[in-house]
């Protein structure tokens, strides 16, 4: 009798596979357009249709529970992985806003877990499409959405690989080991959230200071947050940039800044504080403008971004360094081929020597100097 039921379900499944495939395409489109956006990105989204073998086993194991194929709510499944634990609830809210939730079959396994047992659970929604004409084809079909953080997903993947889905029959010492690992992952998840919140507070603090017209103190650290505000508001940098535009008759090109690349450059030269960077920009100002002029002449460009000042500064700082140091810098930034890097390094050296020779003060040969040197040579 049971085999007849399985055959009936599987025949229905075969007919429904094209519908399930179309469902997945529609669900994917909904996630791209409705659930995710520029401000909120998911780590990954996986879609799957239960295989015949898996479906057959489920009917065998829990056959009495199901009277028709539509009673099985996870034939189509979606796994949503967020970057951090606090984003699980954000994703859940977005999903609830769009899909119809089957509250009876939805389980928040994070709360259902026995606190004395091991495990690291996720949120499972059983949902269906909204009652709109364009989703009429999928009426009556429910599917499952699992939502978990990246570390929760890591735990679940390893647990599945080890084959331990229950504590029954597992030695106590292994249960304790599982519990320790689960607690460490849970703690790590929460600490990442705390770090993220602290970063947000720090950025807000820097932003508020700038809005109030306060300059960042010279001992402020240079990082991905402060460099953005430095590039927007620092008087020394802005004056240097405006002077460069005026002297070289260049136009400003405005693009979104890449603070990570700038910080990487500054770290290479061990510039850790705002004051360190300001000192370099002030003391090397004329050479930075000179090098910028050489670069735009070489490239034929008549526009420059503000970040270009930092790359000119790198040329200046590397100009008198050995060839190996220049190549090391260029390789770190994955610039050009080996031959092109060598050519660029030689160009740095050339600009450095040109500026050095240009800056030399001419020697004054007065009659007094000539007589003094002749007397010195006659001794």
Lowest mean pLDDT among 96-100, 189-193, 357-361: 357-361
CB atoms within 10 A of CB 39: 5
What average pLDDT does this structure show over 242-262?
86
The separation between CA 142 and the C-alpha centre of its own chain, rounded to angstroms, equals 34
Q: What is the mean pLDDT of residues 235-253?
A: 93
Q: What is the pLDDT of residue 163?
A: 62
178-208 pLDDT tens trace: 778 878 888 888 898 898 888 888 878 777 7
What is the structure's pLDDT at 101? 92
Query: Greater confidence, 303 or 204?
Result: 303
Range in 155-159, 194-198, 222-226, 229-233 with the lowest mean pLDDT? 155-159
pLDDT above 60 for 303: yes
Sign of dihedral through CA atoms 266, 267, 268, 273? Answer: positive
Structure confidence by residue, pLDDT tens digits, 313-325: 999 999 999 999 9
> Above pLDDT 90, what percent of the chain?
38
Q: Which residues contact 18 (CB under 8 A, 6 or more apart)?
A: none
DSSP H stretches of helix in the chain: 2-30, 52-62, 86-98, 109-112, 150-162, 172-211, 226-233, 235-248, 259-268, 274-283, 285-299, 308-319, 323-332, 338-359, 367-378
59 band by pLDDT with thresholds 50, 70 and 90: confident
- With CA atoms as reference, report the closest residue to 120 among 172, 85, 82: 85
Mean pLDDT of 249-259: 81
Write the secondary structure of 2-46 as one string of H (helix), E (strand) and C (coil). HHHHHHHHHHHHHHHHHHHHHHHHHHHHHHHHHHCCCCCCCCEEE
Of the ranges 26-35, 326-335, 369-378, the best mean pLDDT one:
26-35
Radius of gyration of the chain (CA): 33
CB 178 within 8 Å of CB 163: no
Quote the CA–CA distance of 4 and 26 in Å, as a whole number.
33
Rounded to 5 degrees, what are φ and ψ at 305? -90, 160
Does 119 score more than 80 pLDDT?
A: no
Would you state the structure tokens that stand for residue 149, as one six-digit string?
């953080």
């Amino acid at each position: 009798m049971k085999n007849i039921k399985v055959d009936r379900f599987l025949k229905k499944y075969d007919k429904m596979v094209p519908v399930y495939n179309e469902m997945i395409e529609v669900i994917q489109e909904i996630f791209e357009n409705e659930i995710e956006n520029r401000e909120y990105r998911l780590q990954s989204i996986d879609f799957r249709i239960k295989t015949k073998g898996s479906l057959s086993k489920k009917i065998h194991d829990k056959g009495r529970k199901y009277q028709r194929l539509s009673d099985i709510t996870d034939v189509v499944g979606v796994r949503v992985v967020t970057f951090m634990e606090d984003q699980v609830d954000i994703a859940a809210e977005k999903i609830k806003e769009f899909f119809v939730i089957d509250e009876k079959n939805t389980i928040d396994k994070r709360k259902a877990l026995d606190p004395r047992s091991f495990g690291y659970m996720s949120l499972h929604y059983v949902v269906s499409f909204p009652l709109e004409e364009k989703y009429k084809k999928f009426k009556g079909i429910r599917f499952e959405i699992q939502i978990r953080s990246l570390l929760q997903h890591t735990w679940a993947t390893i647990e599945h690989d080890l084959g331990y889905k229950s504590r029954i029959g597992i030695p106590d010492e292994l249960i304790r080991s599982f519990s320790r690992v689960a607690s460490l992952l849970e703690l790590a998840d929460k600490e990442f959230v705390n770090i993220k919140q602290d970063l947000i507070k720090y950025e807000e603090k820097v932003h508020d200071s700038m809005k109030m017209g306060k300059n960042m103190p010279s001992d402020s650290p240079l990082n991905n947050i402060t460099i953005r505000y430095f590039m927007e508001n620092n008087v020394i940098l802005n004056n240097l940039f405006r002077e460069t535009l005026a002297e070289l008759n260049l136009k400003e090109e405005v693009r979104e800044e890449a603070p990570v690349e700038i910080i990487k450059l500054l770290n290479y030269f061990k510039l850790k504080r705002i004051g360190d960077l300001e000192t370099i920009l002030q003391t090397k100002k004329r050479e930075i403008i000179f090098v910028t002029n050489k670069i735009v002449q070489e490239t034929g460009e008549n526009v420059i971004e503000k970040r270009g000042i930092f790359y000119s500064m790198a040329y200046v700082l590397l100009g008198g360094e050995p060839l190996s140091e220049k190549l090391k810098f260029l390789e770190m930034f994955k610039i050009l081929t080996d031959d092109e890097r060598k050519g660029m390094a030689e160009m740095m050296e050339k600009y450095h020597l040109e500026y050095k020779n240009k800056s030399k003060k001419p020697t004054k040969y007065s009659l007094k100097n000539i007589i003094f040197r002749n007397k010195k040579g006659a001794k």
